[in-house]
Structure 1
Amino acid sequence: MVKTFEDKSRKSYNEKANDYDKTFDGKFTAKFKELLLKEITMENNSSVLDVGCGNGTFLKMLANNYNIEGYGIDISEKMIENAKKSCPSMTFEVSGCEYTPFKNQMFHAVTVCASYHHFPDTKAFAKEVSRILKPKGVVYISEIYFPLIIRAIVNPFVLLSKAGDVKFYSPKEIQGNFEEYGFEKVDFKREGHIQVIVFRKL
C-alpha cells in the first residue's frame, strides 16, 4: 500500500509527539514561532485557528500576548492529545488542512507555522481558509525559505521524505495561491531561511 504524504507526516509526528519541543524539529521551528509572533497584531477575544498546531506551543505563546479563543488542528493524534493537555481552555481537532470541521466565516485569523511545506494541496488549503475566515480576516504564514537554485535541487528529493514533506515554495507561489481565492498580501518579511507572509481576505 502506497503511503500518502499525510500518512507519512502522521506517523513521523506521532513518534515525536511526547518530546517534540526537545527534538530537532521542535528546536528548528522555535525561531519560526518567534518571528511569526512578532508579526501578529489582533484584537483581544479574536478567534484564531492554528493549522498544523502540533502540541499547541504556538497558540500558548499567542495567548500570552492576547486574550484569544484558540483552536488548533493537526493530523497527528498524539500531537492533538498533548495540545489538549497543554492548553485545556482551547479546542483541538484531528484534521487535515483541506477540509476542516469548522463553520463558514468562523475565524478572525488563521496561522501556519513551519507546516505549509507538508500540505498536499496548497490551493485547496487557500480555498478552505477563504471559507472559514471572516471578511477582512488575516492569515499568517511562517515558512521555510530557500532561494530558487536551492529549491530546484531540493524539491525533487523532498517527495521521498519520511516526514511527509511535499515541496518548498517561493513567496510568489504562496502569494499566487491565496490571491486566486480572494486574498491580498499585506506584509512580507524574510530573515535568513524563514519567510513570513501575511494575507487579508478581501
Structure 2
Amino acid sequence: MSEIKLPAERRTAFGKGAARKIRRDHKIPAVLYGHGTDPVHITLPGHDTQMALKTANALLSIDLEGTAQLALAKDVQRNPIKPIIEHIDLVIVRKGEKVVVDVQVHVEGEAAPDTIVTVESQTVELLVEATNIPANVVVSVEGLEAGVQIHAGAIELPAGAELAGDPETLVVNVSATMSQAELDADLGEGEAQDETPLLDVE
C-alpha cells in the first residue's frame, strides 16, 4: 500500500470553540500519538484528508514541521448529519511493524444454481505489516453448493498476513433459494396468523 502524504500544522488552541473554528477553515483537528511519544495535537487539510480516508486502512505520511511520520487512523469521528469529519485519532506506525486491522471481504465467482450467497461478516481481522495492508481478502464461491459455509480460518490470506480474529467466525454462507411452493406456503401461514381471532379476556 502506497503512502498518502498529508501536510499537518501544530495545534495550539483547544476546546469546542477552537475545534469549530478549525472546521470552518476547512481543516480537521486530529491527535497523533504512539511509540512512546507524547500526543501531538494537529490540524489536517479537510478535503485531502477526507479523500485519503476513503481508502480503508490508508497509510498516511503526516508531514509536521518538516518531519514525516507514518500513521493509521485509529478513530474517525464523523458528523451524524453533515458529511464532514470532526476529529481523527492517528496512531504512529513504523516500517516493518505489524498491526491488527479489519480488512474488507470481497466475494468472487458464482455459486451453484438455485443458491443464495450471504456475506455474514464484511471484514476479517488480520495481523499484517503496517506498510503492506491488503485492500481486501478475496473469497471464491465459484460452484459452491447450498449448505457450504466458509469460516475465517478457511480463507486463503494474502502473503504475509495472519488471521488475528476467531477462525470460527462465519464469513460466507451458501443457502438454497426457496421454491415457489415454499414461498406460497410461508405466505399462507402468515395470512392464517393474521386472520386468527383475538380472544376477549374479561
TM-score (norm 2): 0.21
Greater per-residue strand proportion:
2
Rg larger in structure: 2
